[in-house]
């Protein structure tokens, strides 16, 4: 029994006439009648009762017609599902991000854009440090991740730079430099201040960039505290335990007790955001997401300034 036999029978059942069914199917009437008789012989059941001007379903025929329609509907859905999955419009992806990435509107917006354009793709989001995210992508436990730090071991991976955003100084509200003006300050103004950083293992890229920038400004940083996440550093700053340097997008966190001051361009301190994925991607949905993000990144300015496209 083949699927075409079920289709032939369903059309005959709907038309209640073999000749009209043959015309609808685009075949000749004698071969269609032969196929129906062959189906009845295979089932050893009479499906149709012949009448002078057509046919009618037997009780067994009505039961078989209902199941045949269900089978054909399932096959049609399976074909459509496979085609959508192949196009990346259905399936599941796992996306990772460092704790600071979602504060830039680019990241949540692109995830939202992808979800709206591909509602049949399930998205799982996970937060982590750069090294853990990279390893998860490499081992295929994750499809892509937004990261801040550079990747030294790139075998099997593709790193797509998206943008670089300027860094800000985050100061306790009572700090001597915590005034309401947006006039940039020099990095050297922070010499001798206890510096709150996130652990290097979690974010080696930004950690090393901050240390190097301090050295260029002529001083060795006084690291007073370390935190497991970049957002956690702001809590310590609010508690008066020191100052920190964060990507400009974290300003929107509006942490109580924290004041942000821009740095002079001479500090040459920026926070990159990259998308890491596998160089050979087997998931069409993941490929679709990567292409969306990379295309959207071309609309950003050099310093990561972005405006929603809606």
Residue numbers of the chain with a pLDDT score lower than 70 = 84, 87-90, 180, 203, 301-310
Please state, in angstroms and rounded to a whole number, the distance separating the CA atoms of residues 173 and 254.
Answer: 12
The pLDDT assigned to 306 comes to 56
Q: What is the CATH number of domain 90-162+271-297?
A: 3.40.190.10
The pLDDT assigned to 252 comes to 83
pLDDT in tens, 84-118: 677 666 688 999 999 889 999 999 999 999 999 99
The pLDDT assigned to 243 comes to 93
Please state, in angstroms and rounded to a whole number, the distance separating the CA atoms of residues 160 and 291.
Answer: 10
pLDDT in tens, 183-233: 899 999 999 899 999 887 776 778 888 999 999 999 999 988 888 888 888
Among residues 217, 230, 222, the alpha carbon closest in space to that of 193 is found at: 222
Among residues 99, 135, 134, the alpha carbon closest in space to that of 230 is found at: 99
The pLDDT assigned to 88 comes to 66
The pLDDT assigned to 294 comes to 93
The pLDDT assigned to 84 comes to 66
Q: What is the dihedral of CA 246, 249, 254, 257, to 10 degrees?
A: 20
8 A C-beta contact, residue 255 and residue 235: yes
CA distances from 205 to 56, 202, 213, 279 (A): 76, 9, 12, 22
Please state, in angstroms and rounded to a whole number, the distance separating the CA atoms of residues 176 and 181.
Answer: 13
Ranges of CATH 3.40.190.10 domains, the chain: 90-162+271-297, 165-270
8 A C-beta contact, residue 158 and residue 187: no
The pLDDT assigned to 301 comes to 62
Estimate the crossing angle of helix 18-25 against helix 3-15, to 10 degrees: 130
The pLDDT assigned to 123 comes to 94
The pLDDT assigned to 310 comes to 41
Q: Which CATH topology does 3-86 take?
A: Arc Repressor Mutant, subunit A (1.10.10)
Does domain 165-270 bear CATH number 3.40.50.300? no
Please state, in angstroms and rounded to a whole number, the distance separating the CA atoms of residues 258 and 112.
Answer: 30
């Amino acid at each position: 029994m083949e699927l075409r036999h079920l289709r032939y029978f369903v059309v005959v059942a709907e038309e209640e006439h073999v000749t009209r069914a043959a015309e609808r199917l685009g075949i000749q009437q004698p071969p269609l009648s032969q196929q129906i008789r062959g189906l009845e012989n295979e089932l050893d059941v009479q499906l149709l009762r012949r009448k002078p001007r057509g046919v009618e379903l037997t009780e067994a025929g009505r039961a078989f017609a209902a199941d045949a329609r269900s089978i054909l509907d399932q096959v049609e859905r399976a074909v459509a599902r496979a085609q959508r999955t192949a196009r990346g419009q259905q399936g599941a992806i796992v996306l990772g991000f460092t704790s600071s990435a979602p504060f830039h509107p680019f990241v949540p917006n692109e995830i939202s854009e992808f979800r709206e354009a591909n509602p049949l793709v399930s998205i799982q989001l996970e937060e982590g440090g750069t090294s853990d995210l990279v390893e998860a992508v490499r081992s295929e436990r994750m499809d892509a991740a937004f990261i801040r730090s550079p990747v030294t071991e790139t075998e099997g991976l593709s790193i797509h730079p998206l943008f670089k955003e300027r860094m800000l100084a985050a100061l306790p509200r009572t700090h001597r430099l915590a005034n309401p003006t947006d006039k940039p300050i020099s990095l050297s103004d922070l010499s001798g201040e206890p510096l709150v950083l996130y652990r290097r293992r979690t974010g080696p890229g930004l950690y090393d960039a901050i240390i190097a920038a301090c050295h260029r400004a002529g001083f060795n940083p006084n690291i007073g505290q370390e935190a497991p996440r970049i957002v956690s550093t702001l809590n310590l700053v609010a508690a008066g335990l020191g100052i920190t340097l964060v990507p400009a997008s974290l300003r929107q966190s509006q942490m109580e007790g924290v004041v942000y001051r821009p740095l002079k361009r001479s500090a040459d301190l920026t926070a990159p955001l990259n998308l890491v994925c596998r160089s050979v991607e087997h998931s069409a949905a993941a490929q679709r997401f990567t292409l969306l993000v990379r295309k959207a990144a071309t609309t950003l300015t050099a310093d990561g300034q972005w405006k929603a496209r809606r």
